[in-house]
A and B are shown apart, each in its own frame.
Chain A
Amino acid sequence: MSGAEAARPWHEAAKATFLTAVDPDNVLGRLFDYKSIPNAFFLDETGTLVGKWLGFSVDQPECLEAVDRFRAGSLEPFERAPQKPFGTTGSVSGTPVLSDLERELYEKRVRLGAELLAAGKKEQAIAEWRKALSMDPENFVLRKQIWMLLYPEKFFPEIDYDWQKEHLARERAQEAETCGPEGCLLK
């Protein structure tokens, strides 16, 4: 389950009055260059980006305060990123810097995976996404999409966050065996 089908129950349970849209092609992810979720982006009346909060959570009072200030017009332009993104060891300096061509290849693999999945070719989709992930191992949006296909029982009916942390540690250990300073071996 993905896209609108996955989002609708949450939207309805929240009795949300805001507009919810789905982003299967990761248009927003490419636009704002994020690798984990949740995030918030604040745009003024002219469509200018005035706030970028990676790791934004409605559970955090300071996030809601920022929204109040935004509504009141007293929010200064700002940019925030989590000090410790999900699953990382405190630094993302190990994130590979991809050349334009590599970035293009990465995006093509992500899109090919999505198309394969839409065509019912799950195994091939996962293989493409794994190749993409090997180019950008800090991309948790992609990593979790792979997990959801491989381990649906960990996501429905309840999301097992403890399992996610454990599984991430297992995958990182495996990846450390096949990745070196020059990159990762493609299997």
Chain B
Amino acid sequence: MGVNIGKSIPDIALTALDGRTVRLSDFRGKKLLIFVWASW
């Protein structure tokens, strides 16, 4: 299960804190570090 190393990530969309929709494809051409955290 889950995306494996060496595989490309689907172009998912999430909502930023300011309400904007951001897509992973917005970051193509740049390195991207996704850090997943929670307040708890």
Interface residues of A (CB under 8 A from B): 4, 6-8, 10-11, 18-23, 27-29, 31-34, 37-52, 56, 58, 67, 70-71, 77-79, 141, 144, 147-148, 155, 159
Contact = CB atoms under 8 A, between A and B. Distances in A.
B36 to A, nearest CB: 5
Judged by DSSP, the binding face of A is mixed
Contacts of A78: 5
A32 B10 CA distance: 11
A183 B34 CA distance: 34
Contacts of B24: 43, 47
Given A7-B17, A21-B22, A144-B38, A43 B5 contact: no
B33 A67 contact: yes
- Ranked nearest first, the 7 interchain pairs of A and B with the lowest CB-CB distance are A33-B2, A21-B14, A33-B1, A43-B32, A41-B34, A38-B37, A39-B36
B35 A40 contact: yes
A31 B15 contact: no
Interface of B: 1-12, 14-17, 19, 22, 24-25, 27-40
A37 B5 contact: no
Nearest to B16: A21
A141 B39 CA distance: 11
Contacts of A159: 39-40
Contacts of B15: 4, 21-22
B36 A34 contact: yes
A37 B8 contact: no
A43 B31 contact: yes
Given A32-B2, A37-B38, A47-B9, A20 B17 contact: yes
Contacts of B40: 144, 147-148, 155, 159
B12 to A, nearest CB: 5
A79 B5 contact: yes
Contacts of A29: 36
